[in-house]
Amino acid sequence: MRALLSGYYDKGNGGDEALLATLLQMLPPHVTPVVLSGNPKMTHERYGVESYNRMAIFPVLQALASCDMFISGGGSLIQDFIMGD
């Protein structure tokens, strides 16, 4: 099972980073996290997870289609698309 985690990750906010670290620790072992991030390379290196640019619409849609569940936490992906990052 794959879970897409959406948030304001790797954008320099300690609270959002703590939330992501906590979410990753809380996921059951059978769930593979896929993270939408402001810096996908850094997120992958830091947490060892599959990660995509949260502001690139086609990778976001592909990631969403490849996952079984969606977890929204930290920041607002939808707000950023409407208001700009």
* Sequence spans of domains, the chain: 2-74
Band of residue 76 on the pLDDT scale cut at 50, 70, 90 = low
**SS3 call for 24:** helix
Band of residue 78 on the pLDDT scale cut at 50, 70, 90 = low
**Top-confidence residue, 67 or 75:** 67
**pLDDT number for residue 80:** 53
**Top-confidence residue, 81 or 12:** 12
User: Do 3 and 69 touch, CB atoms closer than 8 A?
Assistant: yes
25-74 pLDDT per residue, tens = 999 999 999 999 999 999 999 999 999 998 899 999 999 999 999 998 75
Burial, 53: exposed, middle or buried (Cβ in 10 Å; 0-12, 13-18, 19+)? middle
* Model pTM score: 0.82
